[in-house]
Amino acid sequence: MELILKAVLKSRYTKYIAFGLIMALMPLLASMGLIRNATIITLGAVLFYAVVAIGLNILLGYSGLISLGTAGFMGLGAYMSAYLTGDLGLPFLLSMAVSVIVPVLIGLLVGLVSLRVSGMYLAIATLAVAEIFAHLFRTLTNITGGFAGKRAAFPEFFGITLTRTGTFIFIVIVLVIVMILTDNFVRSSKGRALLTMRVSEPAASAMGINLLKYKLIAFAICCGFASLGVVLYAHFIQFSFPDVWSLMLSLQIVAVIVIGGLKTIMGSVIGAFIVFGVPELFLNRLPIIGDIPGLAFVFTGVLIIVVILFYPNGLIHLGQDLKRLIAYLRSKKGV
């Protein structure tokens, strides 16, 4: 029994599962009146953005490819799932699968563009795709509802209709699975190939790495996680507005991985909490400060500048550095 416990504690999956268990307890705390019900909605949004950020982290952090079109693929997944379940009456799991596969296929086409352009030109190309989606979200009123938005119901599968609490726990489970799968991916030969490609594409090509293959994989994962996360969010919030899926949201997702830490999984979760959770849970509830419109964007911008200047590796490494600092101070005191 002791050996099993040690093996579990040493497993790299333990932190993901422990995080999931803590998040799954949040609805219980809300039912006991220890936290607000609005906090559950905010935390649900944070978890959804974490799924999206992990996908973008694979694209930007591990492969070095930039995308400003994340919000467009997110909106596509949200509207598709709402339309397939609400208007066509398809089962939730089937609509979720379709709503992930279609953005992935479109993401593969965008990945083909990355062979021709790179850097800011690739960013502009992905932004153009997102703007096309944004225009379609406003004009295809029969599918998206236009400016009025589109409603979505709570998930229903295997004859069970989830409540908001059940949907929240479902999001937690999906996030934990995404973190474990991503951990396995980045430690595999494919993950190492992406890192090599990020450092130098000519060197990666000389080593026999197929640039087309791995760029397509990176874009597919990014678009797949973006659409997966947003499908869960759309059925959790039960509504989708076209103005939400904008360039500003894409930039906020980039901010999430910059603040949390590139090439990290838990860093995406930390960044999502800071960018999307802290303003709603803390800043907006402060007297005077909470009444300032746009404060969340100011907070995010200032934090990005601070992190880039003083902590470029991201806040995920803050705990380790604090431990080193404490150990150093103790050693000095011992001397």
Across the range 13-23, mean pLDDT stands at 92
72-131 tens-digit pLDDT: 999 999 999 999 998 898 999 999 999 999 999 988 888 787 767 777 888 888 888 888
The answer to whether 150 and 238 have CB atoms below 8 angstroms apart is no
Give the domain range for residue 190: 2-334
pLDDT classification of 270: cutoffs 50, 70, 90: very high
Residues in the chain, total = 335
CATH of the domain at 88: 1.10.3470
Q: How many structural domains is the chain composed of?
A: 1
Q: How far apart (Å, rounded) are the C-alpha atoms in residues 290 and 287?
A: 6
pLDDT classification of 290: cutoffs 50, 70, 90: low
The predicted pLDDT at position 3 comes to 47
Query: Quick count: other Cβ atoms within 10 Å of Cβ 300?
Result: 21
Q: How far apart (Å, rounded) are the C-alpha atoms in residues 225 and 221?
A: 6
Which of helix, strand or coil describes residue 238? coil
Q: Does residue 5 register a pLDDT over 70?
A: no
CA angle 287, 292, 294 (to 5 degrees): 135
- Higher pLDDT: 183 or 143? It is 183
